[in-house]
Amino acid sequence: MYVQIFNELGQQRVSPNSGKKYYTPVLRQSVKPAVGMVFDSIEHAFSFYEKYALCSGFSIRRTSLYNPKGVIKLKYFVCSRQDFKKGRSFDKLHDGKVKRRRKPSKRIGCNAYIKLRLNVDKKYKIYGFREEHNHSFVKKEDIQFLTSARKVNYVKESAIQALSTINLGPVRAFNILKSLYGGYEDLGATKNDFKNFKRDLNVFIGEYDAEMVIQRLERKKQYCPNFSFDYTIKEDRTLGGLFWADEVSKSNYLVFGDVVGFDATYRSNKYDMVFVPFTGIDNHNRNVTLGAALLGSESAESYSWLLRFYVKAFGCAPKVIVTDQDPAMKKAIQEVLPNSRYRLCMWHIWEKLSANLGPVVCNTTDFKKELAEIVWTYSITRVEFEERWHSIISHYGLSDHVWLSDIYNIRQDWIPAFYLEENLSGLMRTTSRSESENNFFNQFCNPKSTLVEFFSHFETAIEAQRYEHRKNDHESRYTEPDMWSKFVLEKQAAQIYSRTIFLDLQLEIDDAINSCASATRQKVGDFMKFEIEDLLQPCTSHFEVMFRNEDQTITCSCRRFEQFGLLCRHIFYVLRLCFVKEFPKKYIVRRWRREAITNTSIQSVSSDDVETNGDVIEAVLREIRFANDYSINRLVMDIDQLCLYRDYVKGYMAKADEVQVVAPPPSRRDRFAEMTGMKEPCTITVRNPIRTRTKGCGTQKRLKSAREIAISQAGKKTKECGFCKVAGHNLRTCKLYIASLKEKESPATSGVDNIQV
């Protein structure tokens, strides 16, 4: 059998008295320390000795420090295997037992060291150097495992922080960098080193978390005068609530703030503060964030404070605000926004129909279908809704049903027939927009993140959302859709509206041409009245279109324009029938236009941009990355030129080593201060919030109704008892099985009793 023999490295010496082996590194004199060497600082000396140690194959650490009156006069650097293991560490388990850690020690009493002394020139001089070790050295391929060789340097720290903004933790960052560097041996750090860096960063933030966020937003306001934020604190000085909105959000609100969704989401930070984004709809029919907040509680007082500052920041209240059936939200909206129309989510109410009425009424009759025809439509008036509601309820004998009576009493808060006078109120009838927004932010948020991390995640999410908006703007401006007809208004609409909205209008124009017909036409005053038959809705009576040619005034009984701000197929049919050659300007709503937000709008400035504003290092690093990517992309197909570029870059590494000795990297604490924006310690004026129980606590998922639970369990196979074959219990709790065991034991027990007697 072949056995590989480990060859010990270094020049070996055997003691004639004890027989012990000692090893000395074999290196050129230029890289070896020597008595009399002088360094400008402790860090310079440590970097020099560390480089020598890694070349030799051992690791070092710092030890003894003589520091009278704040000035370091003596400092020792020793081999990491110096001294011996002291004591034994252990873990105490939950049951009180003690479990010893079987962890081997690297300490074997090595006496290699260098000793430094501060001289009169305020520099550090080596006055002691022991080169010999009592252990062999690590092979070149194993140097990567030494403690001194494992470092999370500036580049890796920046990568961890950058990946953290998109909710990728240190372990995923480690795996990504491993793939980029080509292997674990080239990474220069371990997975635990990455995790420890993230841990130390969170420790640095610690009790300054809320204070850092407040100062971060205050600095952002200095750079962006139109940036708004406010916060409230509780009696114990903990953060109670925080609201913020930048200049871009305010510009969007002026155009898209007519209908706003308002909902809360949970598990976005380690303090369980409730995240409350305000959601609107942009000119591409996509979600747009119109401000956001963090609240420490879900009380009516907290929501009232938030809404008051929201109106103050934006200058006006939204026309319609959509929420769920949260009583605290409703009370706050009615108190702070009396002129805004409060609207409940129709979907949440409709989903409760089957649970409250039962499957017999909803599934075996046409009750649900008939009710949907008057609930989900904008084509009936309030009077028609009242008549048909009472007719349906009376027909099915549900006049005394308590839940139906309750939702009927709040019909003005959720039935579309009661929102006909509110322009564009059809844009948002449910909280699905808010739930979609919450799901979008949850992709970037982490329930264990600090407030500092949360704001980095929020900025990343907002940047992604606004990037998509600019991308959609670009496609609207510089792409040409296919025309389906020769109708002149179709081509004009393509130049007026954003691409998404035009595609919707194009369907309406196509249906106007192919699916609509004029039933009657008559003069009514200054208007011409058309009765339009819609072949796509054969069960509906004719739609009435009133048109006045003098001023291009036109209306339709389907009220699509009033509810959505877009003309319907019936109006397009009449305009085509009357040979209208120009799109009516009064019916072009700005919020759907291609240029709803002009190119000159002020671009967003993230908190990270504010922190690094004027930072020369970050600017130079970005230029280096761009130049490196540019060069590689141009030379990747020419292997000779690519090798020349590689040799040029590697040739600068020797000079970089010399610079490293003269200019050591910043300390870990300085890097943390740079990342968080906390340049110096500060007094705490706002304490970290205390975790509170929210309405969504106690479960990792949303609460399910009885109907959802029943549906989810319908397909599951019910477990049966192994003894009696009855569901609902198992063998241990089966009464029949327990009784049978007692019967088997009773004869034996009686026999024992007789013997004892």
Cα–Cα distance measured from residue 555 to residue 547, given in angstroms and rounded to the nearest whole number:
7
Task: Find, among 667, 685, 691, 686, the residue nearest to 204 by Cα.
Answer: 667
Out of 385-399, 533-547, 671-685, 719-733, pick the least confident. Answer: 671-685
Residue 332's pLDDT is what? Answer: 93
The model's pLDDT over 434-491, given as tens digits with 9 standing for 90+, comes to: 888 888 888 888 888 899 999 989 999 999 999 999 999 999 999 999 999 999 999 9
Q: Which structure tokens are listed for 692?
A: 């509170």
**Would you call 437 exposed, middle or buried from its count of C-beta atoms within 10 A (0-12, 13-18, 19+)?**
buried
DSSP string of 233-276, one letter each residue? E-TTSBEEEEEEE-HHHHHHHHHHTTEEEE--B--SSTT-PEEE
pLDDT at 521 over 80: yes
At 6, is the pLDDT very low, low, confident or very high (cuts 50, 70, 90)?
very low
- State percent of the chain over pLDDT 90: 41
Q: 């009380």: which residue's tokens?
A: 299
pLDDT at 93 over 80: no
- Are 545 and 530 in contact by the 8 Å Cβ rule? The answer is yes
Q: Which residues, including other chains, have CB under 8 Å from residue 429's CB and lie 6 or more apart?
A: 322, 343, 345, 346, 416
pLDDT at 382 over 80: yes
pLDDT at 692 over 90: no
DSSP string of 181-195, one letter each residue? HTSHHHH-S-HHHHH
Residue 650's pLDDT is what? Answer: 85
At 671, is the pLDDT very low, low, confident or very high (cuts 50, 70, 90)?
confident
**Would you call 150 exposed, middle or buried from its count of C-beta atoms within 10 A (0-12, 13-18, 19+)?**
middle
At 618, is the pLDDT very low, low, confident or very high (cuts 50, 70, 90)?
confident
Residues 642-661, mean pLDDT to the nearest whole number = 80
CATH superfamily, domain 208-346+431-470, is Ribonuclease H-like superfamily/Ribonuclease H (3.30.420.10)
pLDDT at 237 over 70: yes
- Are 164 and 158 in contact by the 8 Å Cβ rule? The answer is no
Residues 557-582, mean pLDDT to the nearest whole number = 93
- State percent of the chain over pLDDT 70: 87
Q: Which residues, including other chains, have CB under 8 Å from residue 544's CB and lie 6 or more apart?
A: 529, 530, 531, 532, 556, 557
Straight-line distance from the first to the last Cα atom of the chain, in angstroms, rounded to the nearest whole number: 73
Phi, psi values for residue 234, rounded to 5°: -85, 180
Residue 86's pLDDT is what? Answer: 75
How do strand 259-262 and strand 320-323 relate by DSSP bridges? parallel
The model's pLDDT over 570-605, given as tens digits with 9 standing for 90+, comes to: 999 999 999 999 999 999 999 999 988 875 444 555
Residues 638-660, mean pLDDT to the nearest whole number = 82
At 251, is the pLDDT very low, low, confident or very high (cuts 50, 70, 90)?
very high
Q: Which structure tokens are listed for 250?
A: 């305010």
pLDDT at 702 over 60: no
Residues 310-337, mean pLDDT to the nearest whole number = 91
Out of 487-496, 531-540, 548-557, 615-624, pick the least confident. Answer: 615-624
pLDDT at 62 over 80: yes
Residues 633-656, mean pLDDT to the nearest whole number = 86
More confident residue, 692 or 315: 315
Mean pLDDT, the chain, as a whole number?
85
Out of 515-524, 540-549, 594-603, 629-638, pick the least confident. Answer: 594-603
At 96, is the pLDDT very low, low, confident or very high (cuts 50, 70, 90)?
low
Residue 324's pLDDT is what? Answer: 87
Phi, psi values for residue 275, rounded to 5°: -90, 125
Residue 441's pLDDT is what? Answer: 87
Cα–Cα distance measured from residue 566 to residue 504, given in angstroms and rounded to the nearest whole number:
9
Residues 115-131, mean pLDDT to the nearest whole number = 93
Task: Find, among 96, 52, 61, 100, the residue nearest to 80 by Cα.
Answer: 61
CA dihedral 313, 235, 693, 438 (to 10 degrees): 10
Task: Name the strand (E) or helix (H) holding 527.
Answer: strand 527-534
At 622, is the pLDDT very low, low, confident or very high (cuts 50, 70, 90)?
confident
Residues 123-134, mean pLDDT to the nearest whole number = 94
| Radius of gyration for the alpha carbons in the chain, expressed in angstroms and rounded | 37
DSSP string of 710-733, one letter each residue? HHHHHTSPPPB-TTT--BT--TTT
Write down the domain spans for the chain.
11-149, 154-206, 208-346+431-470, 347-413, 483-592, 621-664, 717-757
Cα 229 to Cα 37, 108, 213, 333, 656: the distances in Å are 56, 59, 11, 20, 45
More confident residue, 647 or 672: 647
pTM, two decimals, is 0.80
pLDDT at 540 over 80: no
Cα–Cα distance measured from residue 720 to residue 717, given in angstroms and rounded to the nearest whole number:
9
- Are 290 and 246 in contact by the 8 Å Cβ rule? The answer is no
Cα–Cα distance measured from residue 162 to residue 726, given in angstroms and rounded to the nearest whole number:
57
At 500, is the pLDDT very low, low, confident or very high (cuts 50, 70, 90)?
very high
Residues 516-536, mean pLDDT to the nearest whole number = 92
Sheet order of strands, 228-233 included: 228-233, 239-245, 287-295, 274-281, 259-262, 320-323, 341-344
Out of 312-321, 561-570, 705-714, pick the least confident. Answer: 705-714
pLDDT at 387 over 80: yes
Q: Which residues, including other chains, have CB under 8 Å from residue 747's CB and lie 6 or more apart?
A: none
Cα–Cα distance measured from residue 500 to residue 477, given in angstroms and rounded to the nearest whole number:
12
Cα–Cα distance measured from residue 639 to residue 477, given in angstroms and rounded to the nearest whole number:
41
Which three-class secondary structure string do you get for 20-31?
CEEEECCCCHHH
Residue 711's pLDDT is what? Answer: 64
Residue 749's pLDDT is what? Answer: 46
pLDDT at 103 over 50: yes
Residue 613's pLDDT is what? Answer: 44
